[in-house]
């Protein structure tokens, strides 16, 4: 299943990807294995884009396929749908970057996991992030970016959160293909989620009181 789904997403065969995911879920497959296959496919597409072998339309199409797959996943992962939310997470693609595919996947997975997710969208001004974190009393802030120029915006956002006196109340995770431990240190964030599954695990550990 995993290889077939991965190939379908890479080749932008939406109907096949949705069919494979649906049949796998109905057959009892682990939903996280489907997420993993899609993540691997998105990494391939992202690399092709970076190498000039894929373009914006392909990224948009891949994002639409991912949204379709996550819709299929929701009934199988809705562990946190009922009852009190685990906590509040503010998510955005930072100022100067308009890529949202990875962010949208993380937003969906956090929602499925039972978090109240505030998605500010893309190219979000630093002041808007600070205002939203303050008003929502969010425990977690996720900053996404696909371009290396986003690193400065990530750093500026973390600094503004600190200057507003909010840094002690919110954990900050970074995300995006070029992000590394070095970028986390540069920006002053707490960690980075290499994929949506890791991002959810981080959020759960932080809201649960882990350091």
One digit per residue, the tens of pLDDT, for the chain of length 211 reads: 678 999 999 999 999 999 999 999 999 998 878 888 887 887 788 778 778 898 878 877 888 898 888 888 878 865 544 456 789 999 999 999 988 878 888 887 788 778 999 999 999 999 999 999 999 999 999 999 988 889 999 999 999 999 999 999 999 999 988 899 999 999 999 999 888 778 989 999 999 754 4
By the 8 A CB rule, do 36 and 196 touch? no
Calculate Rg over the CA atoms of the chain.
17
User: Does residue 60 sit in the same domain as residue 108?
Assistant: no
In order of 71, 93, 151, 167, 170, the CA distances from 96 in angstroms are: 29, 8, 10, 22, 23
By the 8 A CB rule, do 104 and 131 touch? no
Would you list the DSSP string of 105-138? HHHHHHHHHT-EEEE--SSB-HHHHHHHHHHHT-
- Domain of 103, CATH number, reads 3.40.50.280
User: Does residue 127 sit in the same domain as residue 195?
Assistant: yes
User: Does residue 157 sit in the same domain as residue 109?
Assistant: yes
CA atoms within 13 A on the CB side of 100: 17
Q: What is the pTM of this model?
A: 0.72
Q: What whole-number distance in Å separates Cα of residue 66 and Cα of residue 18?
A: 9
By the 8 A CB rule, do 156 and 126 touch? yes
Tokens 């948009």 correspond to: 60
Residue 143: CB atoms within 10 A of its CB come to 30
Asked whether residue 82 is assigned to any structural domain, the reply reads no
pLDDT score at 74 = 78
pLDDT score at 60 = 79
Asked whether residue 165 is assigned to any structural domain, the reply reads yes
CA atoms within 13 A on the CB side of 152: 3
Residue 47: CB atoms within 10 A of its CB come to 12
pLDDT score at 81 = 45
User: Does residue 127 sit in the same domain as residue 97?
Assistant: yes
What domain count does the chain have? 2
pLDDT score at 114 = 82
Asked whether residue 161 is assigned to any structural domain, the reply reads yes
Q: What whole-number distance in Å separates Cα of residue 178 and Cα of residue 165?
A: 29
Q: What's phi and psi for 197, nearest 5 deg? A: -65, -45
| Domain end point (choices 77, 109, 126) | 77
Asked whether residue 110 is assigned to any structural domain, the reply reads yes
């Amino acid at each position: 299943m995993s290889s077939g789904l991965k190939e379908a997403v890479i080749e932008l065969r939406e109907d096949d990807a949705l069919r494979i995911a649906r049949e796998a879920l109905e057959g009892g497959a682990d939903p996280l294995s489907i997420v993993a296959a899609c993540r691997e496919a998105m990494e391939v597409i992202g690399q092709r884009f970076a190498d000039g072998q894929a373009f914006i339309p392909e990224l948009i199409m891949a994002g639409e396929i991912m949204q379709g797959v996550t819709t299929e996943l929701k009934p199988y992962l809705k562990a946190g749908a009922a009852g009190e939310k685990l906590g509040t997470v503010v998510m955005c693609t930072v100022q100067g970057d308009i890529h949202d595919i990875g962010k949208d996947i993380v937003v969906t997975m956090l929602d499925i996991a039972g978090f109240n997710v505030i998605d500010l969208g893309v190219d979000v001004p630093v002041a808007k992030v600070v205002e939203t974190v303050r008003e929502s009393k969010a425990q977690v802030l996720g900053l996404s970016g696909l371009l290396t120029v986003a690193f400065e915006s990530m750093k500026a956002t973390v600094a503004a959160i600190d200057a507003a006196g909010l840094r002690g109340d919110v954990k900050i995770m970074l995300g995006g293909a070029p992000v590394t431990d070095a970028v986390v240190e540069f920006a002053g964030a707490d960690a980075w989620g290499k994929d949506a599954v890791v991002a959810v695990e981080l959020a759960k550990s932080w809201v649960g009181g882990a350091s």
